[in-house]
Amino acid sequence: MSFYDINIESLAGRNEMALILREKGYSLCNKLSKIESIEARDHNKAIILNYNDNEYRLNSVYRPIEEAKRWADQFDFNNINVVFNLFGLGNGFFAEALLNNMNEEDSLVIYEPCTEIFLHVLEHYDISKLLSDERVYLYIEGMNEDKMYRELSSLISIANLGLQTQCVHPNYNLIFEHSHLNFYKILKDAFSSVRININTEVILSKEILKNITNNIQYLQDSSSISDLKKVIDTEKVPAIMVAAGPSVEENIEELKKAKNKAVIFAVDRILDYLLDHDVIPDFVLTIDPRKKIEHFSRRSNISIPLITYLDANHLIYKNHSGKKIICTYENFVKEMYEELGKEPPIVSATGSVAVTAFNACVCLGFKQIILVGQDLAYGTDKTHAGNLSDAPMEIKDEYVMGVKGEMVRSRYDWKEFILIFNHLIAENKDVEVIDAKSNGAKLEGTILMPLSEAVNNYSHGRFDINDVCNKLDKTFNQEDYMKLKEFFEDNLLVLEKIKKKAKEASIACSQLIRHVNESIGSKKNKLNLNKLEKANKYIYKQTIYSILDHAVLARTTTQMQDMNKFSKDVENDSIKTYENAKDIYNAIINVIDDFYPEFKKAVEAL
């Protein structure tokens, strides 16, 4: 079997790369005039290439494996759950040197900027071990680099946010300068996005639990976005996503004309402005657990179908009289649907309701999404359409590229959303995104087009929300509903058991601290470590823990950040680990004590 065949076989099942290679669905960097591998003095191979008329060696011509080992020695491998981000795959020697030192829980994200190098390596080297290593995530520019942002974001949590390690394959930063910058931009965007999500979840943790408790009563009559997908025709008409930017004002008349020619989604607070101007959207979205009711609508009779998460503000749920269409981003609610044999209505969360609305439109299957009011920049004298405004807050100004090619004034948080949008649009290549604004921030990959032209071009049928609502079934019939109640009752018992395990684990930590001078293999320490292992295995396996996690994190951010950090001082590391763990277990107990009574009442009332 050739090296190429061995390598392709190891790629199969891990990601779509094998398919991309088979179908030649990649683009070349086209700047390599030569690439070859020569034999080094230790009989391993070294890559020599000619890039932009300059010759470069990617490895030592003496001992390339030894070179890679000495290069890897500079990094700290004491911590766990670390994400190593490597710019440059080369022939894999440097990546292997990292993997040989990394722990099982660590991850290696490799970004290779040149397709030709990757193809050469597939032909001339056996890198099957690296390709099949579960810790490795490989992105090739021109092939699948648009996946890196989202997948990297999923590897990062509060516990390892401070443990990211950046590595550069020697010479790659000199040869591929532009790609090197792009690599760091993706890292920065991913870290920022995760940091924003973590901060958001920490701030909103109390509201999230309160809202879930109060909103489960509405599940009985709800539908899900998976149900909606079955009855909504997304082929003949586009989606129009209306956010609250000032440019909505210039589009208001066209929005009226677009009714029934497109599916109009109102994002949160723009709802009242639209209704005031006789534009009745087909759906309205809200996700913010703390959204003030007056910022959703001042009206008390909103019956427009509401697309929302279960942890959105319960007062909005209460005030809304129409159909509730549930989606979810987290495991507990996902499991709830799965246990009842229903398709979980997954729509990824970010810090922005507009981005979530975009994700919802993609989930529903729209191939054309028209953005209205997605300014993400200051208008001449306002931030939002009409009289809407944000509560006064200290948010730093940032300047971003505008649609007319000029720099425009924006905000730090809007800039983050621009980056998220850019990545989402790049990831969803089969969706045309039309930006119907004449001013504001530029979103990469969008087509700038006036709203009237966009609707004319992309609408080939008629949409009637009443038809859709008539066809839209409730997710849970009577039998399902009884099972739903059982599901929640079972989880009450799970909460009681989590608390019990956390108490036992906290006591075990105290004893481990007291006996830290004894050998780890001593009978007492073994027993206590066993208790910790069992407690952790149980607690973190329970999906209801996923909704408590934010609240636990809110109380133990410092401990979580330090969890995976280690030095060479074993005794101090041990004491620190047990003290942090004890704090976390105590936080779990406190969170359950706060949450359980009200949740129990809500379940009993179902």
Partner 1 sequence: MEMVLDKIDNAINLINENTDLFYQNKVNEGYALLNNTLLELSITIQYIYDSVNSTLIEENLNTLNNNLKEAMLALENKDAILLSDILAYEIKHELEIIKHEI
**Is 133 within 8 Å of 84 (Cβ atoms)?**
no
Count of residues of this chain found to bind partner 1 when the rule CB under 8 A is applied: 15
β-partners of residue 408 are: 400
Place of tokens 């000199």: 174
Q: CB-wise, 101 or 192, nearer to partner 1?
A: 101
Residue 42 vs 339, nearer CB to partner 1: 42
Which of 7, 37, 44, 60 binds partner 1 (CB under 8 A)? It is 60
**Binder of partner 1 out of 22, 28, 33, 70 (CB under 8 A):** 70
**Paired strand residues for 38:** 46
Tell me if 96 contacts partner 1 by CB under 8 A. Answer: no
Q: How far apart are CA 543 and CA 547, in angstroms?
A: 8
By CB under 8 A, which span of 68-76, 229-237, 360-368, 572-580 interacts with partner 1?
68-76
The one segment of 64-72, 245-253, 388-396, 490-498 that binds partner 1 by CB under 8 A: 64-72
Cα(31)–Cα(52) distance, integer angstroms: 6
Question: Which of these ranges, 60-68, 144-152, 308-316, 523-531, lies near partner 1 under the rule CB under 8 A?
Answer: 60-68
Considering only 126, 161, 170, 331, the residue that binds partner 1 (CB under 8 A) is: 170
Contact with partner 1 (CB under 8 A): which of 168, 315, 363, 575?
168
| Beta carbons within 8 Å of 541's beta carbon, 6+ residues apart | none
Single out the segment in contact with partner 1 by CB under 8 A; choices: 71-79, 390-398, 466-474, 535-543: 71-79
H/E element, 267: strand 263-267
Minimum Å gap between C-beta 180 and partner 1 is 12
Nearest residue (CB) to partner 1, 14 versus 63? 63
Give the shortest CB-200-to-partner 1 separation in angstroms.
37
**Smaller CB distance to partner 1: residue 62 or 399?**
62
By CB under 8 A, the residues from 31 to 50 that bind partner 1 are 41
The window from 55-63, 322-330, 480-488, 534-542 that contacts partner 1 (CB under 8 A) reads 55-63
Contact 534, 44 (CB under 8 A): no
Q: For the CB of residue 167, give the shortest distance to partner 1 in the complex, in Å.
A: 9
Six token digits for residue 40: 């080094």
User: Nearer to partner 1 by C-beta: 62 or 540?
Assistant: 62
Nearest approach, Cβ of residue 168 and partner 1 (Å): 6
**Amino acid identity for residue 456 in this structure:** N
CA nearest to 258, candidates 469, 436, 466: 436
From its phi and psi, is residue 379 left (phi > 0), alpha (psi between -120 and 50) or beta? beta
Extract the tokens encoding 470: 């008539």
Counting contacts by CB under 8 A, is residue 74 touching partner 1?
Answer: yes
**C-alpha–C-alpha distance, residues 368 and 2, integer Å:** 44
User: Judged by CB under 8 A, does residue 73 bind partner 1?
Assistant: yes
Q: Is 71 in the site for partner 1 (CB under 8 A)?
A: yes
Geometric angle at alpha carbon 203, from 560 and 547, rounded to 5°: 70
Question: How does DSSP assign 512-529, residue by residue?
Answer: HHHTTTS-TTSHHHHHHH
The least CB distance from residue 92 to partner 1, in Å, is 17
Residues 105-164 that bind partner 1 (CB under 8 A): none
- Residue 177 near partner 1 by CB under 8 A: no
Stretch that binds partner 1, among 167-175, 331-339, 493-501, 542-550 (CB under 8 A): 167-175
Strands (E) located in 41-195: 45-51, 54-57, 83-87, 107-112, 136-140, 165-168
Minimum distance from residue 173 beta carbon to partner 1 (Å)? 8
Nearer to partner 1, 66 or 427 (CB): 66
What is the C-alpha to C-alpha distance for residues 452 and 455, in angstroms, rounded to an integer?
A: 5
H-helix or E-strand spanning residue 224 = strand 223-224
Look at the chain and count its residues: 606
- By DSSP bridging, strand 45-51 and strand 54-57 are antiparallel
Q: Judged by CB under 8 A, which stretch of 67-75, 245-253, 366-374, 460-468 contacts partner 1?
A: 67-75
Contact region with partner 1 (CB under 8 A), list: 66-74, 76-84, 377-385, 436-444 = 66-74
The amino acid at 235: E
Shortest gap between Cβ of 171 and partner 1 (angstroms)?
A: 8
515-554 footprint of partner 1 as x/- string (CB under 8 A)? ----------------------------------------
With contact defined as beta carbons under 8 Å apart, do 417 and 351 qualify? yes
Binding residues among 497-516 for partner 1 as defined by CB under 8 A: none
CB closer to partner 1 out of 88 and 445: 88
Q: In this structure, are residues 438 and 413 in contact, taking their beta carbons and an 8 Å threshold? A: no
Which residue lies nearer to partner 1 by CB, 170 or 344? 170
Q: How far apart are CB 35 and partner 1 at their closest, in Å?
A: 18
- Give the one residue of 18, 29, 48, 61 binding partner 1; rule: CB under 8 A: 61
Give residues 236-265 in contact with partner 1 (rule: CB under 8 A). Answer: none
Burial class (CB in 10 A: 0-12, 13-18, 19+), 486: middle
The bridge status of strand 45-51 relative to strand 32-39 is: antiparallel
Say how far apart CA 565 and CA 569 lie, in whole Å. Answer: 12
Burial class (CB in 10 A: 0-12, 13-18, 19+), 536: middle
Minimum CB separation from partner 1 for residue 5, in Å? 32
Question: At residue 107, what is the residue type?
Answer: S
Q: How far is the CB of 422 from partner 1 (least distance, A)?
A: 30
Q: Under 8 Å CB-to-CB from 569, ≥6 apart: which residues?
A: none
The Cα angle at residue 452 between residues 451 and 457, in degrees rounded to 5 = 95
**Binding stretches for partner 1 (CB under 8 A):** 41, 57, 59-63, 67, 70-71, 73-74, 168, 170-171
